[in-house]
Amino acid sequence: MTTSATSHDDAARLASLLRASADGDQAAFAQVYDAASPMVYGTCLRVLRDPDLAAETLQDVMLEAWRTAAAFDADRGSAKAWLATMAHRRAVDRVRSVQATRTRDEQDAVRSYVREVDEVSDEVLRRADADRVAHCMQGLTDTQRESVLLAYWEGLTYREVADRLAAALPTVKSRIRDGLTRLRLCLGAR
């Protein structure tokens, strides 16, 4: 007997066993399981790349095959193709499910993350920074200090600072630039 004849006989036998399984023949389904499970497992493993998930998915596919054996139609394709399609679909569903779970867990972890805050230490650092800035502000000329305060603490534009101080716009820009340079040097910033 040739290989294609054997292959055809195996396909016909598997189809026959599936039809018997549809009628509730457990022994026939045990033979379907033995004959098809390596192919179903291989299909699942190629998609999932995890032997444990592939084994779980194999069990799901074979259970589905037992429950839906009556849906198999030999005129539409071979039993092997029917089972392989079912395995591929289940494996893809499992990948999506695992990814959705992973994404949901990551989002939950991000949402539930609470940074431990040492409020006392944060307040001490904040006050130390404020003291340093206040000290450095005292090192500016009066016109620089006033220009920087209006621009950065009151949020005025250069034009508004110039109008408020009755000074030329280029003069105000120079005062602010020079004041910020002196602050940067005093604070040790780059």
pLDDT at 70 over 90: yes
**pLDDT for residue 5:** 63
More confident residue, 7 or 43: 43
pLDDT number for residue 25: 93
Q: Is the pLDDT at 153 greater than 90, yes or no?
A: no
Sign of CA dihedral 137, 138, 140, 142: positive
Give the global pTM: 0.55
Q: What is the pLDDT of residue 164?
A: 93
Task: With cut-offs at 50, 70 and 90, classify the pLDDT of residue 126.
Answer: confident
pLDDT tens, 158-179? 999 999 999 999 999 999 999 9
- 10-30 pLDDT, tens digit each: 888 999 999 999 999 999 999
Residue 75 structure tokens: 């005129």
Token pair of 142, please? 């009066």
Residue 113: its pLDDT value, please?
Answer: 78
3 pLDDT more than 90: no
What does the DSSP 8-state code read for residue 139?
A: T
Q: How confident is the model at residue 87 (pLDDT cuts 50, 70, 90)?
A: very high
In angstroms, rounded to a whole number, what is the distance separating the alpha carbons of residues 156 and 153? Answer: 8
Q: In 3D, which of 168, 138, 185, 188 has the Cα closest to residue 148?
A: 138
What integer best gives the mean pLDDT of the chain?
90
Of the listed ranges 24-33, 111-120, 127-136, 169-178, the one predicted with least confidence: 111-120
Ordered by where they begin, the domains of the chain are 7-112 (1.10.1740.10), 123-187 (1.10.10.10)
pLDDT band at 121 (very low <50, low <70, confident <90, very high): confident
Cα–Cα separations (whole angstroms), residue 58 to 62, 96, 126: 6, 16, 60
